[in-house]
Structure 1
Amino acid sequence: MRLAKKVALITGGARGIGLATVKLFAKEGATVHVCDLNFDEDFAIDGVVRHRLDVTDFANWQTVVQDIIHQDGRIDILFNNAGTVLSYAGIADISIEDWHKVIAINQTGPFYGMKAVLPYMRAVGRGSIINTSSIWGIAGAAGVAAYTASKAAVRHMSKNAALTYVADGIRVNSIHPGIIQTPMIDAQDPQITDAVVSITPMKRLGRPEEIAYGALFLASDESSYMTGAELVIDGGYTAP
């Protein structure tokens, strides 16, 4: 039970990487509060509480966080995992509307999450925050302008928070998945997926569970000497 008696908040937890992490954290003893906009009707996991959360709405964040504090008294782990690609267009072609949507979900969402949770973590002098970035928060990619910009911002926002709140006993790290078999990837043009897999040294898609175990390590006390770090799980994509 690597997360025994810990309270975790996970966004984007209804499917993909988030769902795999919800299941793993619950299995490892955490009380898990899973947040998303839409849940399947049969979504039910022992030890897991559902919340409807729009990560782009700070008032919604405050309500959900206060509900968790009222119920469990604290939040030990925040996993800002919700994200979207939405547009594959470059800077010249992406619509202004799509740009703002992607930035709102991928970049402002984790900012709101940290802003809502940090006061409670600071009050007890501990906490682990994990922010999902991407391989494209480290390496460049053609097109996908808003996605790459937002994920690079998450990488450095995590470092900023790590250095700002280290004296409060709070650790902040980013996790950088490669191409993972999720509903978001399943929905994209297969040619894009095949192209990324072809230049991934392991020559395959990652599994959501492989990212979940990385998040588990960062959430647990096993990573107690890690903050401001980047955990890359990408099949070797960023190695060259």
Structure 2
Amino acid sequence: MARFSGKVVLISGGARGQGAAEARQIVAEGGRVVLGDVLEAEGQALAAELGAAARFLRQDVTRAEDWAAAVALAEREFGGLHGLVNNAGIYRPLPLMQTDAAHWERHFEVNQLGCFLGMQAVVPVMERGGGGSIVNISSTAGLRGSPNAIAYSSTKWALRGMTKAAAVDLAPKQIRVNSVHPGPIDTEMVKVWSNEQRTKRLSQIPLGRMGTAEDVARVVLFLLSDEAAYVTGAEIAVDGGASL
């Protein structure tokens, strides 16, 4: 039997990059996905590619009502919800002294508040279904200091703590919560780097290459699956050794 047969997973920021890679792999293994994103054209195109096993809705993760709509869509179209990937996030690098309150608050709203609202939104339906799995996408910037990224790093460190607190709170409901910490992954998010910055980051990776969205997706799928049934509150770096 396919690993995700009968399972439904909600992926925020699911229109492209890591979220899209996760969606493709889940559907390939028999699952169904609800894709939430503000990138409507890309999200609709991915849902069309994946066919009957996928639904897309426009989702602003900073709005509780958008989370409620995503959960309702999963229940209405697929009959329940078994997994959540809090994948949506922004990365707009600035050093400490160039970061103003608005820049800080925007990172907080998308990266941290969005994750909090997502976890709250899915718990009732997961509990009714007998449990589930939540995967919060943090970063190696949540494991170590990261240059020129005070706002981003703060939110990713916060996700690390939120994951552990939620894992304790939700264990009696049979809902597992884990965090994944990607390093430099070759997606749209890192196109803000100059060639010099990219070369420097590559030189710091023991495995000698940038990661791919598929590298991250494979770890996320493990944590969503029953293969990780005794794993909760864990943090897994997917970074080629960059955080060593």
Q: TM-score range by the shorter chain?
A: over 0.9
User: Which residue does the alignment assign to 1:52?
Assistant: 58
Q: How big is the shift at 1:56?
A: 0.8
Please give the secondary structure, in 1, of the residue aligned with 2:96.
coil
Question: Which is worse superposed, 74-83 or 188-197?
Answer: 188-197
Q: How big is the shift at 1:192?
A: 2.1
Are 2:71 and 1:65 aligned? yes
User: Which residue does the alignment assign to 1:129?
Assistant: 134
Q: Report the Cα distance in structure 2 between the residues aligned to 1:183 and 1:210, rounded to whole angstroms.
A: 15
Query: Residues 101-127 of structure 1, C-alpha deviation per residue, up to 9 Å, x if partnerless?
Result: 111111111101001111111223310
Query: Do the aligned partners of 2:81 and 2:129 also contact (CA within 8 Å) in 1?
Result: no
User: Which residue does the alignment assign to 2:35?
Assistant: 34
Q: How big is the shift at 1:187?
A: 3.6
Please give the secondary structure, in 2, of the residue aligned with 1:33.
strand
Give the aligned residue type for 2:91: V
Please give the secondary structure, in 2, of the residue aligned with 1:200.
coil
Q: How big is the shift at 1:193?
A: 2.1
Q: May I ask how many residue pairs the two structures share in their alignment?
A: 238
User: Which residue does the alignment assign to 1:114?
Assistant: 119
Q: Report the Cα distance in structure 2 between the residues aligned to 1:124 and 1:21, rounded to whole angstroms.
A: 22
Runs of 5+ in structure 2 lacking a partner?
Answer: none
State, as a whole percentage, how many aligned pairs show the same letter. Answer: 37
Are 2:88 and 1:82 aligned? yes
Q: Report the Cα distance in structure 2 between the residues aligned to 1:172 and 1:156, rounded to whole angstroms.
A: 11
Q: Report the Cα distance in structure 2 between the residues aligned to 1:73 and 1:42, rounded to whole angstroms.
A: 23
Q: Report the Cα distance in structure 2 between the residues aligned to 1:193 and 1:107, rounded to whole angstroms.
A: 26
Q: How big is the shift at 1:92?
A: 2.3
Please give the secondary structure, in 1, of the residue aligned with 2:170.
helix
User: Which residue does the alignment assign to 1:198?
Assistant: 203
TM-score normalised by L of structure 1: 0.95
Question: Which is worse superposed, 164-173 or 92-101?
Answer: 92-101
Query: Do the aligned partners of 2:57 and 2:70 also contact (CA within 8 Å) in 1?
Result: yes
Q: Report the Cα distance in structure 2 between the residues aligned to 1:18 and 1:188, rounded to whole angstroms.
A: 21
Runs of 5+ in structure 1 lacking a partner?
Answer: none
Give the aligned residue type for 1:3: F
Q: Aligned-pair RMSD on alpha carbons?
A: 1.2
Q: How big is the shift at 1:190?
A: 2.6
